[in-house]
Structure 1
Amino acid sequence: MFSRWQAKGGYRDVFRVGLPLVASMASATVMQFTDRVFLGNYSLDALAASLSGSVVNFVFMAFFSGVASYATVFVAQYVGSGQPRNVGPVVWQSVWFSLAAGACMALLSLVGPSIFALAGHAPEVRELECAYFSILSVASGLNIFGVSLACFYSGRGLTRTVMLVSLAGALVNIPLDYCLINGYGPFPEMGIRGAGYATAIGWALSAALYALLVLRRANEAEFAMLSGFRFDRELFLRLMRFGLPSGTQVFLDMFGVTFFILLVGRMGNAALATTNMVFSLDHFSFLPMYGLHVAAEVMVGQALGAGRADDAAYAAGSAVRLCFGWAVVVSIIFVFCPGPLLDMFRPSSYTPEQYAQIRHTGEVLLRFVAAWALFEAFAIGYMGALKGAGDTRFVMLLIGACSLSTLVIPTYFVVEVFDAGLYAAWSCVLLNVILLSVFARWRFAQGRWKRMRVI
């Protein structure tokens, strides 16, 4: 334990890169969590609609963000190989992509009513879903733009800046959420629309801060951050070659989750709202581990860029161990203290007796989360290492196959054909995570990733 703390690529190095990213993800978790708590207290329909509305938005935005953020691996390998003047140009290729992505996301806001009509949710929930989805989709370009610029720091391992910008966005978003949802002070009461506007303002602030920090003259001499703004067809296509599978991987993963959530919504508003609560709590498990996932990407990318494959493997192992340690802590909390966590979502109009059945269902679902978090740690850690090497095609195919075979098809039969209930549907999610962890570990152990490069 102690030797791995001090070694190159050990726990200390992973913490140095990963802890600010974990804090950044934690701030995003707190933003989403408080958003759901405020909406839950406002109305159960708003809480139900916020999950499906935000997830459908994210399934599209995740694709574009996944492509744009892959510039992180390019930056890491350029820095590791001693080519810092290529950092600016590759970040700019990501920025040009983000601008086109923002336009596509804004256009997608027009199809929201058609998507939610197909889901078959209650009319009062569907109206709220469409409104929330539309606001988030129009504003998504701001978030993708910020993600592109953040690669300049995350790829170099300077993740503290990413953390501070994320915290700034959270500090603005959380009070705005409360004020715009409930109509506090000079703000009108806007319900779920207020939550959407608060999120958009938080994204805008983060994007503006990244632009001010990245586009300084001080970053020109070493990294060509100003002179590298031109569109470079060859570099752009290379970014797309590795980034598109990465974005598709995230899209397929989120598509499976979105399909699952939309089907759960057909069981009724209470089932959808309870699923929303539990997925919101799951973010405290998933998002910090995703911060370590990005740390594994960066450290593996830098080590491979410098020609040190053994250091890359050691860093990946450290990241996986830390992911598992966090998963154990969160699982213990979910199993032994579920009640107080779920009580935070109780609508103000519900008595404890009226809320009791929802609370009980949530306690059972949190045991599912506790179980899959332990497997998720391995899946997230190893897939981060594979993506850091450039093995994005395998990760894409793995997630696509698992989403189709364990989330989309089985959940449809469980809900629509056999009417087997909520717990059977959630068993599909558990199976999905188990398979991801097994095959990600198998691919990593093969070692083919050690010979891959993106530059």
Structure 2
Amino acid sequence: MSDSPAISRDTWWSRPGGGREVLSVSAPLVVSAMSWTVMTFVDRVLLKGVSGEAMSAAFSASTLWFTALCLPLGICMYASTFVSQYFGAGQPERIGPSVWQGVWVALLASPLMLLTIPLAPAMFAAAGHGAETMRLEIIYFQVLMWGAPAMLLAQSFSAFYSGRGRTRVVMLVDALFAVVNLLLDYAWIYGEWGFPEMGIAGAGWATVVSLWLKAATYVVLLMLPANRAQFATLSGMRLDWPLFKRVMYYGGPSGYQLALDVTGFTVFIMLVGRLGAVEAEATSMAFSISTLAFMPIFGLSMGASILVGQHLGEDRDEVAARSTWTSLHVALAYMATVSLMYVAVPDLYLRWFFLGEERGQVYDMAVTLLRFVAAYNLLDATLMVFVSAIKGAGDTQFVLWVSLIMSTLLSAASWVAVTQIGLGIYGCWVLITAWIWILGVIFLMRFLGGKWRSMRVIEKAPPDLADSDGELEPSVA
């Protein structure tokens, strides 16, 4: 590479919004996402050692748990957009209060999350799974739900670092407690190192303990003297009503979008579970493996959202667009490689579920399902990057309406396919593949339309120029 600054600014790697900037922000988030992915993957492999029902139950129960969390979680995650735009606009004193509005959302939502614990038997009875699978699902869901408040709090607190591009801190915290979770998983599932042997309940408690330790760690970091002085992380603890309303106005649709998408996906999984034990186990394996591809793209998409927010805060929409396209280049290159491996060497991923076991119908079906995953991976990457980019600008209303329509269609089509026309496992996977393709195209077109370029979620002027009650209208195209 040439040493000339004029030349280096024009390269894909070193220009603003180029590869170096994107990867410096996104790579730690990819590692963070992978740490969660590896943790859940190993968790299910360990539970497969208990029984196939335990593995399937953990997958469906954790999916329903995440579905219940999605609305408040999406709002808590959206605090990072406020942090990124305030950071880009040079208003550090507004960063601490933005983080704490997300924390207030977490605190207000937590009692509602805990109220779902006694509802678990009715929810899983409606899924119509086998008696043993249902018993294990209820246990795992009820245990996990005690970690829901910690999940929401940790996500809110992490926005303080992720929104400013300090993603290495997020990576280190996530990786540390992923390791803690894995160690506790092994000890609590099998009864090692003095822990009781609790099977699937032990796996749940390992996750709960790890989540609370993570949330506590972020509180300590947030209260460091330098952070209190520069970013108002202590003085900004109060409920700032004008700012809270803006967080809800933009973050609410983001949370609903996440909830709708995951709900559609959850309904699909629950209905596929009615097709039989083999279909349920093969689907659980395929989706568990696909998460290995999905979560790194989630990290890249989070990085795209942060960079869009920062550059729009600087009023540099061209650089924001370039950051998004660079993120997409990296995402597609990665997804293409992974998809080829799913088709060419599926055993590289599936073998871990069959250590010491015969490979039969479940293995053969899972191999075929991985080909479906390979078929939608590239559009899935496109979907995730562009959704995150326009959400980073504040275009959350459009995202919400698209998700409402498409999630309803997926749920209805899955119900008809399974209960009315007996489409079978492969017909159901055609539905999920087509759903992702359509969403990818829709959000690509929305990004190209460019409406997001003039959107902002922060005030038009610094807070000291606000009107008498301290509230300013956000700048929205």
Q: Answer whether TM exceeds 0.5 for this pair.
A: yes
250, 257, 263: which one pairs with 2:265? 257
Greater share of residues in helix = 1
1:210 alignment counterpart: 218
Q: 1:76 touches 1:305 (CA, 8 Å); kept in 2?
A: yes
1:233 alignment counterpart: 241
Matches within 5 A, 1:57-72: 57-72=65-80
Unaligned runs of 5+ in 1: none
1:55 maps onto 2:63 in alignment: yes
Give the letter aligned to residue 298 of structure 1: I
Matches within 5 A, 1:134-173: 134-173=142-181
1:400 maps onto 2:422 in alignment: no
327, 352, 358: which one pairs with 2:362? 358
Aligned to 1:329, the other structure's residue is in SS state helix
What is the deviation of 1:449? 0.3
Q: Once the two structures are superposed, what CA deviation does each residue of 1:9-43 show, in whole Å capped at 9, x if it has no partner?
A: 01110000000000000000001000010011210
1:438 alignment counterpart: 441
Q: Residues of 2 paired with 1:410 and 1:82: CA distance?
A: 48
CA RMSD of aligned residues (A): 1.2
Q: Which moved more, 1:84-93 or 1:182-191?
A: 182-191
Q: Residues of 1 paired with 2:71 and 2:331: CA distance?
A: 24
2:393 alignment counterpart: 389
Matches within 5 A, 1:30-429: 30-346=38-354, 351-352=357-358, 355-405=359-409, 407-429=410-432
Aligned to 1:453, the other structure's residue is in SS state coil
Q: Once the two structures are superposed, what CA deviation does each residue of 1:98-127 show, in whole Å capped at 9, x if it has no partner?
A: 112222111111211111011111111111
Unaligned runs of 5+ in 2: 2-9, 459-477
Q: Residues of 2 paired with 1:292 and 1:340: CA distance?
A: 24
Q: Residues of 2 paired with 1:99 and 1:329: CA distance?
A: 41
Give the letter aligned to residue 19 of structure 2: Y
Q: Residues of 1 paired with 2:389 and 2:240: CA distance?
A: 28
Q: Which moved more, 1:28-37 or 1:102-111?
A: 102-111
Q: 1:27 touches 1:170 (CA, 8 Å); kept in 2?
A: yes
Give the letter aligned to residue 419 of structure 1: G
Q: Residues of 1 paired with 2:176 and 2:109: CA distance?
A: 24
2:462 alignment counterpart: none
Q: Residues of 2 paired with 1:143 and 1:76: CA distance?
A: 21
Give the letter aligned to residue 371 of structure 2: R
Q: Residues of 2 paired with 1:372 and 1:453: CA distance?
A: 32
Q: Residues of 2 paired with 1:427 and 1:400: CA distance?
A: 20
Q: Residues of 2 paired with 1:251 and 1:167: CA distance?
A: 26
Q: 1:39 touches 1:191 (CA, 8 Å); kept in 2?
A: yes
Q: Residues of 1 paired with 2:364 and 2:374: CA distance?
A: 16
Q: Residues of 1 paired with 2:141 and 2:112: CA distance?
A: 14
What is the deviation of 1:73? 0.3
What is the deviation of 1:341? 1.5
Give the letter aligned to residue 423 of structure 2: A
How many residues align? The count is 450
Q: Residues of 2 paired with 1:337 and 1:206: CA distance?
A: 36
Q: Residues of 2 paired with 1:202 and 1:428: CA distance?
A: 36
Q: Residues of 2 paired with 1:118 and 1:32: CA distance?
A: 25
Aligned to 1:383, the other structure's residue is in SS state helix
Q: Residues of 2 paired with 1:339 and 1:284: CA distance?
A: 14
Give the letter aligned to residue 329 of structure 1: T
What is the deviation of 1:347? 6.8
Q: Once the two structures are superposed, what CA deviation does each residue of 1:153-202 show, in whole Å capped at 9, x if it has no partner?
A: 00000000000000011110011111111122311111110110011111
Aligned to 2:353, the other structure's residue is in SS state coil
Q: 2:278 touches 2:361 (CA, 8 Å); kept in 1?
A: no
Q: 1:42 touches 1:347 (CA, 8 Å); kept in 2?
A: no
Larger radius of gyration: 2
Q: Residues of 2 paired with 1:269 and 1:181: CA distance?
A: 23
Q: Residues of 2 paired with 1:159 and 1:283: CA distance?
A: 21
Q: Residues of 2 paired with 1:426 and 1:282: CA distance?
A: 13
Q: 2:222 touches 2:228 (CA, 8 Å); kept in 1?
A: no
Q: Residues of 1 paired with 2:312 and 2:193: CA distance?
A: 54
Q: 1:44 touches 1:347 (CA, 8 Å); kept in 2?
A: no
TM-score using structure 2 length: 0.93
Give the letter aligned to residue 231 of structure 1: L
Q: Residues of 1 paired with 2:457 and 2:39: CA distance?
A: 34
TM-score using structure 1 length: 0.97
Q: Residues of 1 paired with 2:63 and 2:264: CA distance?
A: 11
